[in-house]
Chains A and B, each alone.
Chain A
Amino acid sequence: MRGLDEGWIVDHDDYSDQYLREILASVRVIAMVGASEHWNRPSYFAMKYLQDKGYRVIPVNPQAKGEEILGETVRPDLAAIPEKIDMVDIFRRADAVPPLVDQAIAKGAKVVWMQLGVRHDAAAAKAEAAGLKVVMNRCPKIEYSRLHGELAWSGVNTGIISSKRRKL
């Protein structure tokens, strides 16, 4: 499935580095749906990492509402977040995605990001039609680290070739 983004065709099977870079550089506040208070869950890994990189991450999880994860109060749903949010990061099964997209649009988010293993093309098309950018089946932690040279620390093929010195 393809969506149009400022003259770029977004190929949801193969995102360009530029597309992901622009998203990660433009968002500051991320609502993480399905955030877990258990430190060995993938969402906890991603939240902690993204906080370290300067993002504000607001956990959303109806089962844990009112609790704190990594210093942030857990909200029951997107509408209950008092702040403006830039991106919704979805750690839920694909069939839970469509209502979350509706809420993300209503909340004024600019990006809907679905985690590794999560993909819903119809919901993505709806978000894109409403002017949001969409990423599916990726992890923002992995993409951030790949694009910033950190993933190469673990022997990963980042696909990045450059004769320029990377900023520290």
Chain B
Amino acid sequence: MAEKPKTPGFETLAIHAGASPDPTTGARSTPIYQTTAYVFDDVDHAASLFNLQTYGYLYSRLTNPTVSVLEERVASLEGGRGAIAVASGHAAQMLAFFSFMEPGDQFVTSNKLYGGSITQFGRSFKKFGWDAIFVDPDDPENFRRALTPKCKAIFVESLSNPTGVIVDLEAIAAIAHEAGCLFIVDNTMASPYICRPMRWGADLVIHSTTKFLSGHGNAMGGMVVDSGRFDWAQNDKFKSLSEPEPAYHGLRFYETFGDLALTVHGHAVGLRDLGATMAPLNAFLTITGIETLPLRMERHVQNAQAVAEYLAGHPAVCWVAYAGLPQSKYHKLAQKYLPKGAGSVFTFGVKGGYQAGVTLVEGVELFSHLANVGDTRSLIIHPASTTHRQLTEAQQIAAGAGPDVVRLSVGLESIADIIGDLEQGLEKAMRLRNA
């Protein structure tokens, strides 16, 4: 009896998945197909493409050969059936919910999300009639209690930005599935190298590929990955996939495309109508970045752990919220869901409040003071004086962005230089306090 070929390892997939040599030229690196459209063989071929009866490129708002390579790459790393690349992480969230939400529908979401997602869900989604119900994710039962008959999904982040909250993915997945709801997990902060949410029951995984996947702080992008395991016909919540689609003459996506239904729908309807397409150049940069994802993530978490331990022992620091530290309340969950490390983005509190935070971010020389995470470069921000400055102090504290909070995204520079820069920055903050 012959053995089946083994599934390649993560590192192999990170380099090869989706990217065979270019069939036309033999180019080994994925070419940048900088084109808006593609010629039809004849009228019949064009009709087949428009009717989704054959596979092929039609118009780059929907699909593009460079972008397709990235989609397959990320789908493969997440263990998904397919993926839809979009212009940003926010576009990914918009497209994911757009694929099944109708006006009046609801979903339950963690209230410990990236602030931009809270605003998108809480404000802009309202304009579509989509109602987000926010709950504290620390107790999975909070999701069950908040579910209503109109709920279609539960949304969480595997590792929250910037609060470092880790949720019990497996328990929440079970609650979602019992209610016939989708379980959607944003895996941006962990990356598939550290956490594979589909292993724990996620149906869709969302990424801002702008962060660790592209990894170099040079390309915007987002991704919706579909596990292909969700039964869209199990109830009447997902009619856009299970019932006839008028714009495609009554085609039923689930019946016609099976476990590819959402992937096809995301391109043929989602990208067609939302138009938040990823640029081929950004796809190329992200493909190149992902090739080194395993190596980068290994060093990111190693450096982050060292910085967190250093800060935890520093006299100018009041607290450190990093799940890699044994004193973190999320340490146990981190060991289960993020066994390779608790990511490299976290917050800590600096003694001396607002002014000390400002002095620190202005005093560092290696860390870059900016609003991004997941770069090769170490990044720092003081949310109270930047991203969260419109909020009252009470609102800032509720959002985990109080006056003393500083967020780091620990990069890949020499660890001695990273710690040395924080050392001198914290000294400046302490001098101010003692002055």
Contact = CB atoms under 8 A, between A and B. Distances in A.
Nearest to A38: B250
B251 A156 contact: no
Contacts of A139: 258
A117 B266 CA distance: 22
A156 to B, nearest CB: 4
A8 to B, nearest CB: 6
Contacts of B267: 154-155
Contacts of B76: 157, 159
Which of A116, A162, A164 has the most chain B CB atoms closer than 10 A to its own CB? A116
Interface stretch (A39-47, A73-81, A124-132): A39-47
B1 interface: yes
A168 interface: yes
Nearest to A9: B1
A142 B258 contact: yes
Contacts of B256: 42, 45
B13 interface: yes
A155 B84 contact: yes
B391 to A, nearest CB: 38
B51 to A, nearest CB: 7
Interface residues of A, number: 40
Contact of B264 (A9, A154, A160): A154
Contact of A155 (B26, B85, B249): B85
Interface residues of B, number: 53
B23 A157 contact: no
B324 interface: no
Which of A16, A150, A155, A168 has the most chain B CB atoms closer than 10 A to its own CB? A155
B240 to A, nearest CB: 16
Given A154-B63, A154-B263, A156-B81, A48 B1 contact: no
A161 B48 contact: no
A49 B68 contact: no
Nearest to B69: A152
B12 interface: yes
A50 B55 CA distance: 12
B17 A155 contact: no
B107 to A, nearest CB: 24
A16 B5 contact: yes
B20 A155 contact: no
B258 A117 contact: yes
A142 B52 CA distance: 12
Contacts, number: 124
Contacts of B80: 157
A156 B258 contact: no
Interface in A43-59: 44-45, 48-49, 52
Nearest to B55: A150
Interface in B228-254: 248-251
Contacts of A154: 55, 63, 68, 82, 260, 263-264, 267
A63 to B, nearest CB: 19
Nearest to A117: B258
A16 B6 CA distance: 11
Contacts of A44: 53
A158 interface: yes
A72 B159 CA distance: 56
A156 B20 contact: no
A162 B15 CA distance: 11
Contacts of A116: 255, 258
A165 B26 contact: yes
A157 B21 contact: no
Contact of A164 (B20, B65, B69): B20
A164 B26 CA distance: 9
Contacts of B257: 142
B56 interface: yes
A163 B52 CA distance: 29
A161 B16 contact: yes
B76 to A, nearest CB: 5
Nearest to A52: B54
A155 B81 CA distance: 9
A27 interface: no
A156 B263 contact: yes
A153 B20 contact: no
A94 B98 CA distance: 33
B18 interface: yes
A48 B53 contact: yes
A66 interface: no
A165 B2 contact: no
A16 B4 contact: yes
Contacts of A147: none
Interface in B7-32: 7-8, 12-13, 16-18, 20-24, 26
Contact of A40 (B21, B23, B26, B248): B248
**Pairs A-B, 8 closest by C-beta atoms:** A155-B71, A157-B75, A116-B258, A156-B82, A150-B55, A42-B256, A165-B21, A166-B23
10 contacts: A52-B54, A116-B255, A117-B258, A152-B68, A153-B55, A154-B68, A154-B260, A154-B264, A156-B75, A165-B26
Interface of B: 1-2, 4-5, 7-8, 12-13, 16-18, 20-24, 26, 48, 51-57, 63, 65, 67-69, 71-72, 75-76, 80-85, 248-251, 255-258, 260, 263-264, 266-267
Given A158-B72, A166-B21, 18 more contacts: A14-B4, A39-B249, A52-B54, A142-B257, A152-B18, A152-B69, A154-B263, A155-B75, A155-B266, A156-B75, A156-B260, A157-B75, A157-B76, A157-B81, A158-B18, A161-B8, A161-B16, A165-B20
